[in-house]
Amino acid sequence: MTPRKRLIIFTTLFCISFFIFTSSIILGKHLTFEAKVEATTLNKSSYRIHREKISELSIKSDIITDSFLKKDVTQPIYLTFDDGPTEYTEDILEILDRYEIKSTFFMLSNNVLHNPTVVQAVKEKNHTIGCHGVTHQVSKFYKTSSSPLDEMNTCKTSVQSITGEPVNIIRVPFGSFPHLTTSQKAKLDQAKYVMWDWNVDSNDWSIHNEKKMTKSVLDQVQKLYKRERVPVILFHDKEVTVKALPTIIEALKNLGYEFLPIDEKDIPVQFKIQS
Ligand SMILES: [Zn+2]
């Protein structure tokens, strides 16, 4: 082999090695970040995806396309409703009854005390009740290292005074990132609270059009499906949610999703906590 040929081979090998090396570093960083954010989003205990039955999920316009409706899969999904009970909670319960599905309600302490019959109805229908605190204000809820725990304890007492049962599942206002500190989280963990965030935001607090909201939700579910994540959808007990809910449920049912109430033993979806 001539020196020239040797040089060409060496240079080629060097370039290939360098490419593989840099790619692995970039990919590694990406995967590490993804793992941190999403490591807790897979509910292995109940994740029953039938991958081979799905070709694609797509929504191409404001309405749901046929291809989105024809799927035959079985996989879990969690619907969650925050900030209630409100004047719309009973409508939501009626819709859930109509479709014979269960969900989870993260309630605010004062709303619990003002609407005891609704709280009781949620319990009797076997939906899960979680606590969402008292003040729902960032400046108060996250004020000290123990304020989140104090608010959840107050909320728990309120629910328990009506249902007779303790509440161990919680969602902190506005989600755990970026407000909840590690020490606040540690106190909640010590008290055996199981904290849930979400990975699908219905945006029902900002979108006032039920068609837009439906499209947004189903788009997000589609993205999670491609990444094999169990969807946890954030809703609020609001009028637009009541309007959009039947269409969303029908679409998800037709896709084969199984609607589950959150169970204490389920692996929670949590955002990454700041330190
Ligand atoms: Zn809230």
pLDDT at 202 over 80: yes
pLDDT score for 209: 95
Per-residue pLDDT tens digits for 9-57: 766 666 566 655 555 544 443 333 333 333 334 333 333 332 222 323 3
Ligand 1 geometric centre to CA of 84 (Å): 9
User: Does some domain include residue 274?
Assistant: no
Ligand 1 geometric centre to CA of 79 (Å): 14
Distances (CA, A) of 169 to 159, 172, 214, 274: 12, 10, 27, 21
Is the domain of 96 the same as that of 206?
Answer: yes
pLDDT score for 74: 65
Reference 170, options 162, 187, 183; nearest CA is 187
Ligand 1 geometric centre to CA of 185 (Å): 17
Task: State the greatest distance between any 2 C-alpha atoms of the chain, in Å, as a whole number.
Answer: 90
pLDDT score for 240: 97
Ligand 1 geometric centre to CA of 136 (Å): 6
Per-residue pLDDT tens digits for 157-168: 999 999 999 999
Higher pLDDT, residue 225 or 13: 225
CA distance 198 to 67: 26
Locus of tokens 């490591």: 39
User: Does some domain include residue 266?
Assistant: no
Average pLDDT score over residue span 132-151: 98
Is the domain of 56 the same as that of 158?
Answer: yes
User: Does some domain include residue 68?
Assistant: yes
Is the domain of 14 the same as that of 123?
Answer: no
Is the domain of 130 the same as that of 254?
Answer: yes
Question: Domain limits at 77?
Answer: 44-259
Q: Do the beta carbons of residue 109 and residue 120 sit within 8 Å?
A: no
pLDDT at 70 over 60: no
E strand or H helix at 96: helix 89-98
Higher pLDDT, residue 26 or 215: 215
In the chain, helix, strand, coil percent, each to 5?
50, 10, 40
User: Does some domain include residue 51?
Assistant: yes
Per-residue pLDDT tens digits for 171-180: 999 999 999 9
CA distance 129 to 145: 25
pLDDT score for 10: 67
Is the domain of 143 the same as that of 216?
Answer: yes
User: Does some domain include residue 253?
Assistant: yes
CA distance 133 to 130: 10
pLDDT at 249 over 90: yes
Higher pLDDT, residue 19 or 78: 78
CB atoms within 10 A of CB 23: 10
CA distance 156 to 148: 12
Is the domain of 165 the same as that of 35?
Answer: no
User: Does some domain include residue 268?
Assistant: no
pLDDT at 198 over 70: yes
Reference 133, options 161, 165, 111; nearest CA is 111
CA distance 102 to 259: 6
What 254-257 contacts at long range (C-beta under 8 Å, 24+ apart), as own/partner pairs, is 254/68, 254/69, 254/70, 254/71, 255/57, 255/68, 255/69, 255/71, 255/73, 256/50, 256/53, 256/71, 256/72, 256/73, 256/74, 256/75, 257/73, 257/74, 257/75, 257/76, 257/77, 257/231
Ligand 1 geometric centre to CA of 26 (Å): 37
What's the pLDDT band for 228 if we cut at 50, 70, 90?
confident
Is the domain of 99 the same as that of 10?
Answer: no
Rounded to 5°, angle at Cα 169 from 122 and 165 = 55
User: Does some domain include residue 269?
Assistant: no
Is the domain of 16 the same as that of 83?
Answer: no
Average pLDDT score over residue span 228-244: 96
Is the domain of 3 the same as that of 131?
Answer: no
Ligand 1 geometric centre to CA of 205 (Å): 10
Is the domain of 174 the same as that of 213?
Answer: yes
Average pLDDT score over residue span 138-144: 98
pLDDT score for 272: 72
Ligand 1 geometric centre to CA of 202 (Å): 13
220: tokens are: 């997000």
What rounded mean pLDDT belongs to the chain? 82
pLDDT at 268 over 70: yes
Is the domain of 62 the same as that of 9?
Answer: no
Is the domain of 34 the same as that of 59?
Answer: no
Locus of tokens 């009797």: 124
Reference 196, options 274, 275, 132, 127; nearest CA is 132
